[in-house]
Amino acid sequence: MEPQGKGAQGRFIPTMGALHAGHLSLVDRSKAETDSTIVSIFVNPRQFNDQEDLRKYPRPIEQDLRMLYESGVDVLFLPEIEDVYPAGDNNKIDFDPGLAANTMEGKFRQAILKAWRKSYTGF
């Protein structure tokens, strides 16, 4: 990736991996509209109410890496849990997700909205 000067724009695309055409369309759009594209893959354990759901979540990392490489992503960020939730960090989140708590992912994984807010404000 070439160094970018003042005014350069980039886009960050957070994912939990198991990439598909929808993810790649975000990458394509970013590459067309910005100077650099950064993708993260982080399966956030705090987004799962059920530990069995977390255990079963697909993690085809080799396939994901190949897809991102072939799509021309500039930077891949693969944080470990300690990078997102450092030891001693106050991980308590207090906010009301409002109507979102009962729709889409919030309907099935109540912890997801709080986990998103915590993990993505930490980057």
Q: What is the pLDDT of residues 26-48, one digit of tens each?
A: 999 999 999 999 999 999 888 88
* Tens of pLDDT, residues 43-71: 988 888 889 999 999 999 999 999 999 99
Catalytic residue among 13, 15, 19, 23: 23
* CATH topology for the 10-121 domain: Rossmann fold (3.40.50)
* Tens of pLDDT, residues 64-112: 999 999 999 999 999 999 998 888 766 555 666 677 667 766 666 666 5
23 catalytic per annotation: yes
Half-sphere exposure of 82 (CA within 13 A, CB side): 1
Half-sphere exposure of 30 (CA within 13 A, CB side): 23
